[in-house]
A and B are shown apart, each in its own frame.
Chain A
Amino acid sequence: MLKLSEINSHYGKAHILNNLSFCVGPGEVVSLLGRNGAGKTTTVKSIMQLVRPSSGDVDFEGQSLVRSAPHQVAKLGIGYVPEERRIFTDLTILENLEVGKQPARKGIAPWNQQRLFDIFPNLSERRNNRGKALSGGEQQMLSIARTLMGNPRLLLLDEPSEGIAPVIVEQMVTTILKLKEEGLSVLLSEQNLHFARLVADRAVIIESGEKKFDGTFDELEANTEIRDAYLSV
């Protein structure tokens, strides 16, 4: 479904991603793990083409994404939920959802406000409130809901659990599993191993922009060396 091959990305002269390759299969939830500054966000942005890889290829369902504009990537069916959430604080919840709205896609039950409010009941109550009146957790949910309005096949979630109360994180687990049931593929950038293990099928660990591990959580469990070296558990 999504395949990164030998990606290199830079910020100015700083070389961040180093020949990074991995893939996400259809219906699979893959967790991209790594410490602060490992390059998780840069990887996600390189997929979205918000950061342009200097070499290598990103392939999504047979189409190369490099040289596409971010809006074209989104149109192909990749939904991006940024780490900072970036909701439109001056717009109401309903208007935020409107911005994310895209035409229905074959093979996906189209998302609409009602279906999203079923999953995120907190948002429903506050649908006419402005984004800036929401709590951090609510903003995170709105950000996910807004992206789902584009009916993506693949969801890029950048550290959704960051700075969020444990109760809400639990809710998030249920949500992601529900999305998985719907057939959505997910790439989940995370630092929180426990959270990742609850939802993901597979783990990819990166450090300084290089891949250090790619396998199931059971394999990771067995390999304590890797775990201790690259994750702050």
Chain B
Amino acid sequence: MGLFIAQLLTGLANAAALFLVASGLSLIFGVTRIVNFAHGSFYMLGAFIGYSLMQVLPGAVGFWSSILLAGLAVGFIGVIVELLVLRPVYKAPELFQLVATFGVILVIQDLALMIWGAEDVLGPRAPGLKGVIRIMDEPVPKFDLALIAITPFVLFALWYLISKTRVGVLVRAATQDREMVGALGVNQSWLFTGVFFLGAALAGLGGAIQLPKGGADLLMDFNILASIFVVVVIGGMGSLPGAYIAAVLISVLNVFGVAYIPQSTLVLMFVVMAVVLTVRPYGLLGREEVAGEHGQVGEPEQPIKPAGRSARILVLVFLIALACLPFVAEPFFTILATDVIVFCLFAASLHFILGLGGLVSFGHAAYFGGGAYVAALLVNYADAPMELAFLMAPIGAGLLAAIIGWLCLRLSGVYFAMLTLALAQLVWSLVFQWDEFTGGDDGLVDIWPPDYLSDTTVYFYFTMVVGIGGIILLRHMAHTPFGYALRASRDSVRQAEATGIHTKRIQWLAFSVAGALAGLAGALFVFSKGSVFPVELEIAKSFDGLIVVFLGGVKTLSGGVVGAAALTLVQDYITRFEYWRLALGLLIIVVVIIAPKGIVGSFRALFENRLGSAGDKPTGGTQ
């Protein structure tokens, strides 16, 4: 009994930081409609800044003021990010801002590395709260009790701000219809900035307040991301009490998980989420998101045309040039080109559901890594020949996508996106923690193709045929009735249903197909590298996919492929420098700001402008 209560208390204490960070994310999303992926970075900054402040400010007063100051400082960093990075891109196509926040993640990672170094830092213990209190003979840290006591006050303060003050009324109104709030004379820009300040400050507070328990390190940004998404989704987007309940639920279960089933701690959280969402699709206290409720009207969609003659010739010339590569360049370039093609296929498969289907998957790496692991496991355990393993990879990944897609497609919009991320994390944690079967962190090695394909050049041609074949297949599908139905389901579910399209089934099929082709890319990958590790399933991999699709251009068919090629090449070059993340992050932010239609889209716009739609050039459109 004593142990039980002690564990319960530890869980409640752990919930404090999680709640602070998650409530900030939820708040920012509610008003700005931006899923702030850099939120984990704000959390990390809060921890590091709090740590530095605690080094100079002595005593209990110093400790607690450090936490508050860290929150304030991170709030101001959030304001800087909002003003410099996000404000220029609010009018960009929906979700494009995501890419900007990826850029911010990279920049903050390197800045933190520069300032605080690569070593993990141990958080100082809270002065005056160092010891333990015995509760039914079990030691409970005093600091834990302090955290448990503080959190409800924070919840209450936030609740009061949101439901009882003018600012809160404006925030809630803007959550529903921000254009109307503007038309009533409220400067939304400052409302956004204010909300960003508050959200970032909460993340910073969360980071600083957990210092005595967790310290600070450079991985905490990504490490907390999945958890806060899960908390927000379980609690219900935009519900602060929901976030609190969910944070407690997750933290408490986690403590018990560590105690009783240490093998599955990572998995547990996602299982809970899956259960909650099955019963309550919009979270414990969330309300249904009505599509289009926020009345954002983007620019009219340019219908996608099949490639014209000149485009086809251009592509053909390019492919021939590519095929000549092994004869004219060093083997290094052949390997690089193989990587590029693999990544292009992965990106094209994501683009297929994202661009044509309007289904934003945050967890597409699950299918890429899933395919790679299916092949590797078959080779490893069943001694399967490469041909069979290669065939099973897309089938396995497609099945995985079918299962995850079936679960996720009951939701839409950001709930859909978050659920795909969380389920992808579930796959990752399964692979990561199931050492005996998957090799865990050590991965699976020695997965080579048979002799006739083992030569780099031969494998390059093999990749070219399979990879580009896959890309062409995806492109082709865009112009089949299936592709039309998919686009119709994206543009208007109601009208598509009225013309007899079963939208959910079409989207489910598309999701599975995209998963299968990502799995194919995974198979190409595993046999070219000879090994596979859990990183191929990580959030970062999914984000890479999203970055290239958005940077390439969501609304153009070639966007994914062009973006993937550009990113791989840039990354190959840039990673030679020490602070390459900083450079890449800045590059991404700059591209987002100057080319909000993506690389292909912006080139096309430039091209069309030059060709002169002479005379009447519309500049209107709703804001």
Contacts and interface: CB of A to CB of B under 8 A. Distances in A.
Interface of A: 9-13, 15-16, 45, 48-54, 69-71, 73-75, 80, 82, 86, 88-91, 95-96, 98-102, 146-147, 150
Nearest to A12: B300
B348 to A, nearest CB: 28
Interface stretch (B177-185, B506-514, B546-554): B177-185
Contacts of A90: 172, 175-176
Contact of B623 (A50, A82, A98): A50
A74 B183 contact: yes
A42 B120 CA distance: 58
B172 A88 contact: yes
B528 to A, nearest CB: 45
B163 to A, nearest CB: 9
B618 A10 contact: yes
Contacts of B300: 11-13
A50 B620 CA distance: 10
A49 B185 CA distance: 12
Given A9-B620, A11-B621, A54-B618, A98 B169 contact: yes
A70 B619 contact: no
Interface string B602-623: 0000000000000010111111
Contact of A70 (B170, B172, B179, B621): B179
13 contacts: A10-B620, A11-B300, A50-B623, A51-B620, A52-B620, A69-B182, A71-B187, A74-B185, A80-B184, A88-B177, A91-B173, A100-B185, A150-B184
B99 to A, nearest CB: 24
Given A15-B616, A51-B622, A100 B184 contact: yes
Contacts of B184: 71, 74, 80, 99-100, 102, 146-147, 150
Interface in B477-522: none
A13 B613 CA distance: 11
A15 to B, nearest CB: 7
Interface of B: 166, 169-170, 172-173, 175-177, 179-188, 295, 299-300, 616, 618-623
A71 B173 contact: no
B176 A88 contact: yes
Given A88-B176, A90-B176, A91-B172, A99 B181 contact: yes
B176 A12 contact: no
Contacts of B621: 10-12, 51-52
A89 B287 CA distance: 13
A47 B461 CA distance: 61
A150 B186 CA distance: 10
Interface centre among B166, B183, B184 (most CB of A within 10 A): B183
A90 B616 CA distance: 43
Contacts of A102: 184-185
A95 B182 contact: no
Given A102-B185, A150-B185, A11 B169 contact: no
Contact of B169 (A16, A95, A150): A95
A68 B184 CA distance: 14
B546 to A, nearest CB: 27
Contacts of A16: 620
A71 B188 contact: yes
A225 to B, nearest CB: 31
Contacts of A70: 179, 182-183, 623
Contacts of B295: 86
A15 B180 CA distance: 24
A10 B619 contact: yes
B177 A86 contact: yes
A187 to B, nearest CB: 15
Interface centre among B173, B175, B616 (most CB of A within 10 A): B173
Contacts of B176: 88-91
Contacts of A95: 169, 172-173
A89 B172 CA distance: 10
A50 B296 CA distance: 12
Given A10-B619, A12-B618, A86 B182 contact: no
Given A10-B619, A50-B179, A88 B188 contact: no
A91 B169 contact: yes
A51 B177 CA distance: 16
A84 B622 CA distance: 16
B617 to A, nearest CB: 8
A189 to B, nearest CB: 15
Contacts of A150: 184-185
Given A9-B620, A50-B623, A99 B169 contact: yes
A7 to B, nearest CB: 11
A11 B622 contact: yes
Contact of A13 (B180, B182, B188, B618): B618
A84 B487 CA distance: 28
Nearest to B170: A99
Contacts of B169: 91, 95, 98-99
A82 B170 CA distance: 18
B173 A88 contact: yes
Contact of A50 (B616, B619, B622): B622
A114 B619 CA distance: 44
B183 A80 contact: yes
Given A52-B623, A91-B169, 16 more contacts: A10-B619, A11-B300, A12-B300, A13-B618, A50-B183, A50-B622, A50-B623, A69-B187, A70-B179, A71-B183, A71-B187, A73-B183, A82-B180, A90-B176, A95-B172, A99-B173
A53 B620 contact: yes
Nearest to B293: A89
A80 B181 CA distance: 11
Nearest to A76: B185
A80 B186 CA distance: 13
A75 B183 CA distance: 9
Contacts of A71: 182-188
A98 B618 contact: no
Interface centre among B169, B177, B622 (most CB of A within 10 A): B169
Contacts of B186: 71, 99
Interface centre among A51, A70, A86, A101 (most CB of B within 10 A): A70
Contacts of B170: 99
Contacts of B173: 88, 91, 95-96, 99
Nearest to A54: B619
Contacts of A146: 184
Interface centre among B181, B620, B622 (most CB of A within 10 A): B620
Contacts of B620: 9-12, 16, 51-54
A98 B181 CA distance: 11
A99 B178 CA distance: 11
Contacts of A50: 179, 183, 622-623
Nearest to A143: B180
Closest 9 CB pairs of A and B: A10-B620, A74-B185, A12-B300, A10-B618, A86-B180, A99-B173, A71-B182, A88-B173, A54-B619
B238 to A, nearest CB: 10
A102 B186 CA distance: 9
Contacts of B166: 98, 101
Nearest to B175: A90
